[in-house]
Structure 1
């Protein structure tokens, strides 16, 4: 053999210079042979080195593989022939690198294991790929530590720092910089809500005094901004413009988002208190005659936010004294009773009118108002029910269930009173 042939690098499948045959069962179930070289196999894989040391008559190594990992076996054999600096460049997908990594560990090819781990640690993953990575990493042990470092749980301080930063963006406590301010804020709001729903360790963060103080500050700021923008609404030169309503709806959407996260932090009472405080001013502006035939989106969204407040109070998630519950109900019930038929009428008049109250929302509000009324002292119940029966709009909300319960309880109360008086009278006579 000439010098040039001796210096030529070995290649997988080279039929002239091979001294070892590797047999794989391919995808179709037929055997496939790979001409290979014992010097390469022995140098790059402890498994092949051990196999070759025990062969006596022929250098034939049989490897069983399934249709699912056949391609990974072929890829591994080809990587064995590459210099170290080229292996990393040959890895082109997470799926392939994972498959090769599992085999490289089994075949004890340290160089390929190292390159696969380096590749996986550096490239982005999709959600489905991460699930597979977690399963593979769990089986590999310490060798996969660089990958594990990327997906292992973070400590309390790191979690808190991320959450606090997200809250600051979400509540605009530090105003986001243009041009991506609103996009960043929306994304931060989504992530805060997701973290509160999915992270088992987050209750430790949300119980932290600094975090709770920050959220309270953000809530106060959002409420203040909403009230300011609402107060300046009547001075707008063009109230019919979409821009005027869009601006105030933006702040109101922030408040609605707060209603979603605060119950998960046991801070909904703060929202209810703020909402109850600003409600009289809010309604005085929204019910101004300048807005009689405008701002239907704003009026509908106000009912949606108020529904969350009533729900929290009516079902006992936020505990308020009876006088506060009475005030809250008497403040918003007339507005809801007034707006619902107006929205229905607009929907009937205009095709595609977008601001009709959702049927589920209507039922939810009606149910919670009934519950809220029945939690009040009897005299307050009587005042609200009397007002309902004398109002022009009695169809919504339908308080007949509350009225029936009130009548039953009143009769029962009178009966108990008379029974008590009779017992007292009989006791006096017997003396």
Structure 2
């Protein structure tokens, strides 16, 4: 909350230094200036009171009863005993530059300035006013006459130029004079209107009343969106019950952020190795393992779908054209499959590292059509000069998943893993496929990774899993 005028900044600084600060603001921050008038004659104050004792309100947003001449002693808007004169005015300056003037024009010009009479001891229920009226703030103000005990505080409070804004502030100010909030906070709409003002003024009792009411009643869809916009302004304890009622797919900002980082690391970042290492660390340190699993599962499904579609288009082309066009399209399909296959390897490594690869194992072991397309593609000699590492990439995924199951990192049933994964993907290194992969790996013998070691490693994993499943 920022203060306007000569001493406004001090008020804001005291508030953030002494009291619990609430982050953000639901509306435009108020402009407030506190002036202590110690020389004002009583008859002048009475004369002004007769002109402004009735609070003006819009007809469509009425939360409080109209003030009358028979005000309750030391009650709300009682000019006879008040020591604080608060002026509410509509701040016509928008928070951001905008050409939309509908919200400003919707505020009646007659309701843009309201003066009410309050009591400092009651206002102190609001931590904002308590700080503004404190001795520390009075000493910092240049307009203080500490020698006079009958001082009158004159405050200005700016409110947003939105329909009903003054009424919402008046309703919260009137609630300072009562402990019974149920008569005013009687529906979700009222609670959502008053809660941002209570947060602005740091009126804790009103905040708790609004939050408890929202926790206990049903919401409409548009009301839930408003609640989600206010939740970041609440403390963790206050927002816990509200967030528990919100569907999980609507609290996905962190998952969207993580998903975007994964896509950027895999596709867009020029220094891919650095980006992958950074995202891998984020995944390890991510607070929610389930959220990380959902993000990785989604990325795995997307990359696997692209690999399958690319190989299907390559092995069973359904387009016509000249030789050069067909060759270019087929090269593109193989490169796409190879690139996303490498993405699959990295994603599988991250899922195994976090022990969340159970869905990937199940999905990878049900790819009979994908294996058939892969074998048809490997029978063609064109892939040797375009993407010679494609079979090795597919086998690396199989090998990593099989080893993870064998070591117990991933839990999988014998029927699902042994019968499906073994028969589907081990067929890719049998017969003609085995000869192709052997030739491929012999060309990369410098890395010390041969066809025999790969097959033995896979068979060892399969046999270990089978023995463990039969003889636990």
Q: TM-score range by the shorter chain?
A: 0.3 to 0.5
What is the TM-score of this pair, normalised by structure 2?
0.37
More helix by share: 1
What is the TM-score of this pair, normalised by structure 1?
0.40
The higher-RCO structure (CA 8 Å, 6+ apart) is 2
